[in-house]
Amino acid sequence: MAIRTLLRSKSVHYFSRTLYHCYLPPPKSTQYCCPSSSLLSYLPTYNGFRGYLFISSFTDAERKCQPANSHPSSPDLINEISRILSDYRSPHHDIESALNPFSNKISTEIVEQVLKRCKNLGFSAHRFFIWAQKLSGFCHSRESFHILVDILGSSKQFPLIWDFLVETRTNKSCEITPEIFWLVFRGYSRAGLPADAMRAFNKMVDFGIKPCLADVDKLLLALCKRKHTKLAQEFFDKVKDDFMPSVKTYSILIRGWGELGEVGEAQKVFDEMVERGCSVDLLAYNSILDSLSKAGKMDEAFNFFTKMRSIGLIPDAFTYSIFIHGYCALNDIHSVFRVLDQMRRYKLVPNVFTYNCIIKKLCKSDKVDEAYQLIDEMISTGVRLDCWSYNTILASHSDHNQVNLALRLISRMERNNCAPDKHTYNMLLKMLIRVGRFDRVEKVWESMEDRNFYPSVSTYTVMVHGLCQKKGKLEEACKYFEMMMDEGIPPYTTTCEILRNRLIGHGFAEQTEILADKMERSTSSLIQELANIMRGNKACTKLKHDEEYSDESYA
């Protein structure tokens, strides 16, 4: 009863404000679409819009295809169109009518950047592409065609891909190149459809493309990356007499078998390569070394290493890094540093991924001071640190609730020009909430915008879930939940359920209805659907992004 009284006394202002706000439309100044992995930089813009800076790569021919009234790439325009693609993702949505007001502002650059921003929206991205294609005087760039095929492959919309390619061939709107088929290979392999990837290879001739060894290599690589190595080997055995396999071709298969731990198969491929008279180079030896290392056969790997040197091949940084990764997997930290010392002796510098592997192993062994020494070494040798380098150490500080050390590490990241990412903030905020440092939580949250970082669904989830578990912080949990809705970011179903249960448990059942009403008035169709969860309707379908919330990868 005391907790409820305290919450009521602190929540009068918030809940009365919520009651007022829930009957207003979502603010137009908070348009949002999840960023893609395209090359872009966040820029603050007016009224809270999330801006992006893009680099134009138009050719002269593509510029001639622009409408006469084409506008330069605008971050706000890209945001607005991306938001429409997110909100109108259902087949019954009239996305064309929503896009028509922007028809005189479309350029190839705008189309490219919108597609890159909405790579997870296959169906609406395709409809947007077709809509733009019909605009008077507009023609797509080759890059846009490639992006769309990649999007459709990632979304498993394979019938749409083939319809699109047939239409493109008929209309001659874009040259169908081998690169497009490479994207199809990758899409099928990612979807767990290796047989279809191989059939796509055979269909290349239907589109006027005679497959060459490079196409074989790309298919094998796509298959092996998704652990379809057995099928890749069978395909290779069928076609190897029609092509002239190179060391690269064999190396792809060797690495593929190595990823599966099938060292015997990897050695068979290596032996065949030698028998066919291929000039075995450093790439091939590194491939077999990598296979042996991943299988934990470090002694055999060292024998190959010795043989390699005996025929005059000089190991490179990657060769030594293979041994470092292998010894890390075996928890042999002594051998790791023995190899690292050899690299130092030969003035070979590991890349950031190898350093990060060692740092992770040191942190797991509670040797954080030595991890910091490696950070210093990376800086002194000119290796550009990434977020993983720091986040691995931050995970250790977070596990031990070392607030001051964690905050100092964030400051060090800034001094070394390494911007924190969502994992950095999620771990830091989670720890600060856990230990009750709410003053620091506010400061960190406010600093994110100054650093041009804008929270995604996972960061809001950390805030809402964490605050729901803390005494007297339910009001703040609701505040961040509303902020997420105002930004147009659909919460996870579990977030809605947790907040609803907490509100009901503290006697605020009426507030769940207020929040549900506001969710129904959102411009995001996903947020509208989640209003059912807030009302206690368990029939609502779990959202795809519910599975992506995890920040344990650094532990």
Residue range 350-399, pLDDT digits in tens: 999 999 999 999 999 999 999 999 999 999 999 999 999 999 999 999 99
Least confident of 90-94, 265-269, 416-420: 90-94
SS3 at position 230: helix
Residue range 112-128, pLDDT digits in tens: 999 998 988 899 999 99
Q: For residues 231 and 223, is the Cβ–Cβ distance under 8 A?
A: yes
- Phi, psi dihedrals of residue 176, rounded to the nearest 5°: -85, 110
CA 28, chain centre distance (Å): 27
Burial of 38 (0-12, 13-18, 19+ CB in 10 A): middle
- Residue 540: the pLDDT is 52
Work out the pLDDT band at 451, boundaries 50, 70, 90: confident
Residue range 275-322, pLDDT digits in tens: 999 989 999 999 999 999 999 999 999 999 999 999 999 999 999 999
Q: What is the 3-state secondary structure (H, E, C) of 46-100?
A: HHHCEEEECCCCCCHHHHHCCCCCCCCCCHHHHHHHHHHHHHCCCCCCCHHHHHH
Instruction: Check pLDDT > 70 for residue 1.
Output: no
- Residue 253: the pLDDT is 98
- Residue 477: the pLDDT is 97
Q: Which residues pair with 52 in a beta bridge?
A: 42
- Residue 44: the pLDDT is 30
Angle (CA) 128-543-77 rounded to 5° is 30
Percent of the chain clearing pLDDT 70 (strictly above): 84
- Phi, psi dihedrals of residue 191, rounded to the nearest 5°: -80, 0
- Averaged pLDDT, 436-441: 96
- Averaged pLDDT, 82-110: 90
- Averaged pLDDT, 405-432: 96
- Averaged pLDDT, 73-98: 86
Residue range 244-274, pLDDT digits in tens: 999 999 999 999 999 999 999 999 999 999 9
- Residue 464: the pLDDT is 98
Instruction: Check pLDDT > 70 for residue 326.
Output: yes
The DSSP H or E segment spanning 41 is strand 41-44
Q: What is the 3-state secondary structure (H, E, C) of 401-452?
A: CCHHHHHHHHHHHHHCCCCCCHHHHHHHHHHHHHHCCHHHHHHHHHHHHHCC
Nearest to residue 139, comparing CAs of 149, 147, 129, 148? 129
Least confident of 36-40, 75-79, 303-307: 36-40
Work out the pLDDT band at 542, boundaries 50, 70, 90: low
Q: b vs e for 428-456, b when ≥16 Cβ sit within 10 Å of the residue's Cβ?
A: bbbbbbeeebeebbeebbeebeeeebbbb
Nearest to residue 471, comparing CAs of 6, 71, 80? 6
Work out the pLDDT band at 49, boundaries 50, 70, 90: very low
Q: How far apart are CA 182 and CA 449, in angstroms?
A: 39
Cα–Cα distances in angstroms (integers) from residue 188 to residues 50, 116, 119, 372, in the given order: 34, 20, 16, 42
Query: How many CA within 13 A on the CB side of residue 8?
Result: 11
Least confident of 103-107, 192-196, 535-539: 535-539
For all residues of the chain together, what is the average pLDDT? 85
Nearest to residue 480, comparing CAs of 457, 501, 497, 514? 457
Work out the pLDDT band at 205, boundaries 50, 70, 90: very high
Instruction: Check pLDDT > 90 for residue 219.
Output: yes
- Residue 172: the pLDDT is 87
Please give the residue that has the higher pLDDT: either 144 or 12.
Answer: 144
Q: How far apart are CA 449 and CA 22, in angstroms?
A: 25
Residue range 240-249, pLDDT digits in tens: 999 999 999 9
Please give the residue that has the higher pLDDT: either 526 or 293.
Answer: 293
Residue range 137-178, pLDDT digits in tens: 899 999 999 999 999 999 999 999 999 999 999 988 889 999
Instruction: Give the alpha-carbon dihedral of 443, 444, 445, 448, to 10 degrees.
Output: 120
Angle (CA) 111-116-118 rounded to 5° is 95
